Structure 1
Amino acid sequence: MKNVTLQLFNEEKWWDAANISFAGEQMASGVTLAYLPQYIKDVHSYGMTDCWACSVNAPVTMTPIDYESWPALLDDLLPVGKSRDWWLNYLNVSRRSEFEQNYALLTHACMSPIGNLRIKEATSQLNAHNTQRFSINDVAQLQHGFLEYANEQGAAVGGATGAGGVAPKLLLMVENNEVYIDGDFAGKRLSATPYLTKFARNTRSARDNNILRAEGVFYQVLSKILEGTSIETINVSGMMTLEHQSQVSLWLPRFDVQVDNSIATRIGVESIYSMINAGPGSYQDHFFVMENIWNKIKATTQMSSQEFAKQYLARDLLNLAFGNSDNHGRNISFLKLEGDIQFAPIYDFAPMKADPEMVTRLFKWGKDCEEGGIVRFDNVVKELTEYCKPDELMAFLNSLAEKLIGVPVLLEQHGCPREILEFPAIGFNNLESKLANFGVHNG
């Protein structure tokens, strides 16, 4: 029987938290998560599902948690997209079964994913004597020397992030305009800024680069229209968009890392797919997702049901308004804090309706509330009375819609590429009528 050890970072150290055992070597084989007795004894968080738990589905308890098949919790840790491809080739397992691939990735590539979890068996890959530095321009230009270094460090310290998408990504440290890779910074003094650095996806065409340019602009505009609300997005004060020969790199400050008294700490992050234990890329009904998640976090979160509903609906309205059709369950995550669970800042927020791969919405509203890309939010709120009064929800959405009307002007002011501003399928030119069709604006 194969096993791995899950480690959790809290209180300035990594804890051996749980044993994961695999009953067989198939994706459909059973998997058991069992917290280690010493961990339960030491952390005094019995029954909790916050930052001390491996998942909202696995409260800290003596009772093992049995999964009928491969748990989505582990998908959050695995490298995805380009990073997964690199690791499979590096480990020479690209022709193995999916289970064998995933197990190899767990034990070699999951030494430092986003969040406060890692696989202990993978940490032997960490380089403790890493002193090389590169200029930001070397990285933006993807210079050969930097790429060799990145490969030596594990192609981005354990991959991109399971809480993200398929665009090429690197987890980097920046200090005094110099870049280095460090997957073992937690619990140590840190003066550098941790970044998730994205490069254009697909073939890195002019369109692909415009989508990435626009993503950076979107965060700037989001930060303006969300002022005065409890909804957060990427910290734009530290964000950078760099360009070399028309190739863009977007540098996003990580929201899963914070520095307290000069010591770096990691914040727990869990994606919606993990929380509802659903496979990557699966279609879901928003109503089911909301009910499932709320039932799992309501005993821990400090959010009211009203705030939960407003934050959830706001994210979908924003996706629709900005043409972000890539709304799957890895693009919304929750932060797991001490005694609290909150929405993570809005991330992976790009005009994916312009993507040549024709990315479509995977999460949709049931109960005849969504058809042909049109969501009737005035009908949606009537189905959410267990969370919030419909009038209160509509007033919130109406207020957000009023701010959205000015988005095309803000996008232009912040340098959004003309191709994206005028892309027909996104419809910034007729945003006001779109909002009216969504039932959130009277025109």
Structure 2
Amino acid sequence: MGAKLECHLEIYADAGWRDCAIVTVDDPRAGGVRGRATFEYELDYVFSAGPAPAPVSLVLPVNTELRQTEHWPSFLYDLVPQGNGRKYLLGQLRLADDAAADFALICAGAFNPIGCIRVREAVAYFEQHAGRHAASNVEHGLTLAQILDRGEPFVERMLVHSMLAAGTTGIQGAAPKFLLTQDRAGLWHADGALPDAEAANHVIVKLPRGKAEADRKVLRNEAAYMRVARELGLRTAGEITLHGDMLFIPRFDRTVSGGSVLRHHQESAASIAGIVGFDMRPSQFDVLHALRKVVTDPQAETLEFLKRDVLNLAMRNTDNHARNTAVQVRDGVVRLTPLFDFAPMYLDPEGIARASRWYHPQGGNELQHWRNVLAALDVGDAERAALREGLAAFAEEVARLDAVMHAAGVEDDIVTYLRPSIAGQLRQLQELGVAHG
């Protein structure tokens, strides 16, 4: 059995980072699913003056309880580096790529993740890393042309000041991504290299998952897919722009206001649902049930969740795992984040299957008709009727999909391929209206 290890969590509050909680794992090599852990808030944080302190997870209220579990707290998996950032750190730490590396990766890579939580040990690791390189490598911003050309200044910045400074280790998913911050003069910096007072804009830059034409096609159409979602009334944020094979995605976990940067709490549905690790395939019922416990308006967020899944099915976004849905806290209101990672993933060369499905809460069989999904939801009759009415009304939007996709710039062959799945979803939604009209 390995020695116990701790990581110390910090939260962004009152325009600064504060110590807030400690996670202790009994045997890091066992991984999160099999590894016992202890979670506790710092007493100074629990009893701090001023407004009630915010939790590190919406399912872990701030109190003095010492929580001992048979597995790691699920929110930790929102901080585990994945994708290219994981590969980079594994090389730096000289570790094999398995669950035994996850805690070390958190303690080295969770210095600048999405949301408002970070790990103190990871901040120290980053500062040590950055200190080995000349300041001149990081203090000057890049133009958009330098980024798109992937010339020496960009490559040097990303490799020397590193994927660490670009925040890549804090963004999950298989596609190569990095974080950039734009200063007031319009130049771009690796996120974390620019002081908050000089920041004007924050983006995630996504590249194709692989080198195949299908990977580039998925990326080209993601911006168009998001325009479709916005046109159909789903919750979106900002305008995604495609520059060559780089997709610039506005960040919605941060708001620039009055010369400061507000960092909003953001947490995956997987964390809310208590999912530890990356291999579980939960039922959509379980995910939705967990989300309804924390959101401010369960009925509104349930309808939003259902509409998003209608579009996932209609437009064949098969990569619908529980970390591609998240909640955030804005001005005290807890709701689903704007839509993200919405693209024609059926094209992916790896053959990504739909991850989260509607398995009946009792029988376990997959439900494939919205009539049956609504009947199985754990809601009151009045809310069930309202949800049915909302989905039936959404049929009018789904009926416009062909024209909306063309106007949004979805490529013609994708539109043609999607017509049968769109027709199937439209028929189901229209039947909801007919049956209860």
TM range (shorter): 0.7 to 0.9
**Is 1:183 equivalent to 2:192 in the alignment?**
yes
Q: CA deviation at 1:311?
A: 1.7
CA 1:192–1:389 in structure 2 vs 1: closer, same or farther (change >3 Å)?
closer
Q: CA deviation at 1:163?
A: 6.5
Q: CA deviation at 1:382?
A: 1.8
Given candidates 151, 157, 168, the residue that maps to 1:143 is 151
Q: What code does the residue aligned with 2:398 have?
A: L
Superposition TM-score, scaled by structure 2 size: 0.87
Secondary structure of 2:48 counterpart? helix
Matched with 1:432 is 423
**Is 1:413 equivalent to 2:411 in the alignment?**
no
Indicate the structure with greater helix content: 2
Matched with 1:329 is 322
Distance 1:11 1:273 in 2: 28
Instruction: Tell me, yes or no, if the aligned pair for 2:180 and 2:205 is still in contact at 8 Å.
Output: yes
Matched with 1:264 is 261
Q: 1:205-354, aligned counterparts within 5 Å? A: 205-226=212-233, 231-236=234-239, 239-243=240-244, 248-278=245-275, 279-295=277-293, 297=294, 301-303=295-297, 305-354=298-347
CA 1:430–1:302 in structure 2 vs 1: closer, same or farther (change >3 Å)?
closer
**Is 1:23 equivalent to 2:18 in the alignment?**
no
Distance 1:441 1:145 in 2: 58
Q: 1:395-410, aligned counterparts within 5 Å? A: 395-410=389-404
**Is 1:32 equivalent to 2:29 in the alignment?**
no
Q: CA deviation at 1:140?
A: 2.3
Secondary structure of 2:47 counterpart? helix
Matched with 2:96 is 94
Partner deviation per Cα, 1:99-127 (whole Å, 9 max, x = no partner): 2x222212221110100000011113145
- Structure scoring higher RCO (CA < 8 A, sep ≥ 6) equals 1
Q: CA deviation at 1:355?
A: 1.1
Q: CA deviation at 1:441?
A: 7.1
Superposition TM-score, scaled by structure 1 size: 0.86
Q: CA deviation at 1:159?
A: 4.3
Instruction: Tell me, yes or no, if the aligned pair for 2:84 and 2:169 is still in contact at 8 Å.
Output: no
Instruction: Tell me, yes or no, if the aligned pair for 1:211 and 1:420 is still in contact at 8 Å.
Output: no
Q: What code does the residue aligned with 1:367 have?
A: H
Q: What code does the residue aligned with 2:287 have?
A: V
Secondary structure of 1:422 counterpart? helix
The aligned length equals 417
Distance 2:92 2:320 in 1: 30
Partner deviation per Cα, 1:74-120 (whole Å, 9 max, x = no partner): 1101221122112211222136x532x22221222111010000001
**Is 1:9 equivalent to 2:12 in the alignment?**
yes
Instruction: Tell me, yes or no, if the aligned pair for 2:202 and 2:250 is still in contact at 8 Å.
Output: yes
Distance 2:140 2:193 in 1: 15
Instruction: Tell me, yes or no, if the aligned pair for 1:111 and 1:157 is still in contact at 8 Å.
Output: no
Q: What code does the residue aligned with 1:116 have?
A: C
Q: 1:22-171, aligned counterparts within 5 Å? A: 22-25=25-28, 26-27=30-31, 28-42=34-48, 52-94=54-96, 98-99=99-100, 101-124=101-124, 125-126=126-127, 127=130, 130-157=138-165, 159-160=167-168, 164-171=172-179
Q: What code does the residue aligned with 1:106 have?
A: I
What do you get for the CA RMSD once the two structures are aligned?
A: 2.7
Given candidates 350, 353, 374, the residue that maps to 1:360 is 353
Distance 1:10 1:115 in 2: 12
Distance 2:38 2:142 in 1: 43
Instruction: Tell me, yes or no, if the aligned pair for 1:381 and 1:390 is still in contact at 8 Å.
Output: yes
Gaps of 5+ in 2: none
Percent identity over paired residues: 24
Instruction: Tell me, yes or no, if the aligned pair for 1:32 and 1:66 is still in contact at 8 Å.
Output: yes
Secondary structure of 2:409 counterpart? coil
Q: CA deviation at 1:38?
A: 0.8
Q: CA deviation at 1:412?
A: 1.6
Partner deviation per Cα, 1:148-168 (whole Å, 9 max, x = no partner): 211223305364376642111
CA 1:383–1:428 in structure 2 vs 1: closer, same or farther (change >3 Å)?
same
